Amino acid sequence: MKIVRTVTGMSALAERWRKRSFRIGLVPTMGALHAGHVSLVRAASRECDRVVASIFVNPLQFGPAEDLARYPRSPVRDRAALARAGADVLFAPSAAEMYPAGFSTAVEVTGPLVARLCGPRRPGHFRGVATVVTKLFHAVRPHAAWFGRKDAQQAAVILRMTRDLSFGIRILVVPTVRERDGLAMSSRNACLSARDRRAAPVLARALRAGRDAIRAGARRPAAVRSVMRKVLAAEPRVRVQYLEIVNAETLEPIGKLRGRVLLAVAAYLGGTRLIDNLTMRAGHR
Ligand code: AMP
């Protein structure tokens, strides 16, 4: 696996691949890789002739009070994991390479997709994500790019941006990979204390309880949220930031549970913020 650290180096390589009519796949990550990331790379390598995985801890998407400095990093393990998963290139630029002095441009998706969930709780976050993904798209020039459903709102934002700005890149969204106890894999899980790690699967349990309530016939979001809240309340270490049920495509609030819905939760365990979600079809009976 080749390691590329400059935008011009990456573009030149992509240009050569394009001349040979190779299909290029991109998997953007922030490193500290786990089986969720690996599933994205594997999915990309099944469909593409060349797969680029990027590792870039993007300062633009972290708020001033967030965990940029203590975001987990494991470059040596990551390289081995990517090579094993079938990546051809690791694109790992520095912050100065991505944002040289004078960098002043932002890409921003506006409206309902960012009005709820993580949008208001992490001001500037999705602007940082859209901006870095745009830069990665231009450097790698992929035909397709893979994202995880674990970050459902991020995937929705990227899809919207890719369509709105005519990037001509296929966006694929891959199911959430979980630990055996249900906890959604996340690089941030490494930041949890042993006791918080034991408490963390309650997020997934709450989502499943919500799903079960909907399957059992609950039709009001408030009723389902109260079922989920009860599950979460059993774990006093968890501080819930939001618990929402929205339309899975538009991310807008819904009055009645019908069609594809997204159940989403964000919570703190100690200083670590975790998110998780589940999509399902409601109102089929
Ligand atoms: P991150 O390194 O956390 O920025 O994530 C990089 C990509 O991996 C994003 O598209 C995430 O949605 C995806 N991802 C993160 N965790 C998981 C998971 N547990 N299952 C599947 N995809 C994931």
84-96 residue pLDDT tens: 999 999 999 999 9
pTM: 0.97
Tell me what pLDDT residue 283 has: 83
- Mind listing the pLDDT tens digit for each residue in 1-50? 999 999 999 999 999 999 999 999 999 999 999 999 999 999 999 999 99
CA of 202 to the centre of ligand 1 (A): 20
Distances (CA, A) of 128 to 62, 65, 224: 8, 15, 33
CA of 27 to the centre of ligand 1 (A): 9
Tell me what pLDDT residue 252 has: 98
Average pLDDT over the chain reads: 97
* CA atoms of 248 and 22, how far apart (whole Å): 34
Q: Which two tokens stand for residue 152?
A: 């459902």
**Ligand 1 neighbour 177 (Cβ under 6 A):** yes
Q: Is the pLDDT of residue 284 over 70?
A: no
Tell me what pLDDT residue 189 has: 98
Alpha-carbon torsion, ordered 29, 33, 38, 41, to 10 deg: 30
Q: Is the pLDDT of residue 285 over 70?
A: no
Report the percent of the chain where pLDDT is more than 70: 99
Ligand 1, pocket-test mutation among 33, 37, 91, 172, most atoms within 8 A of CB: 37
- Mind listing the pLDDT tens digit for each residue in 114-146? 999 999 999 999 999 999 999 999 999 999 999
Start-to-end C-alpha separation, the chain: 51
* CA atoms of 117 and 137, how far apart (whole Å): 26
Tell me what pLDDT residue 57 has: 98
Q: Is the pLDDT of residue 164 over 70?
A: yes
Q: Is 34 a catalytic residue?
A: no
Residue with tokens 């495509």: 249
Mean pLDDT over 240-253 rounds to: 98
**Ligand 1 neighbour 36 (Cβ under 6 A):** yes
Q: Is the pLDDT of residue 185 over 60?
A: yes
Phi, psi of 45 (to 5 degrees): -75, -20
Q: Which of 283, 146, 275 is nearest to 204 (CA)?
A: 275
Tell me what pLDDT residue 110 has: 98
Q: What angle do CA 272, 274, 275 make, to 5 degrees?
A: 160
Sheet holding 50-55, edge to edge: 2-4, 89-91, 50-55, 24-29, 144-148, 170-174
* CA atoms of 186 and 177, how far apart (whole Å): 9
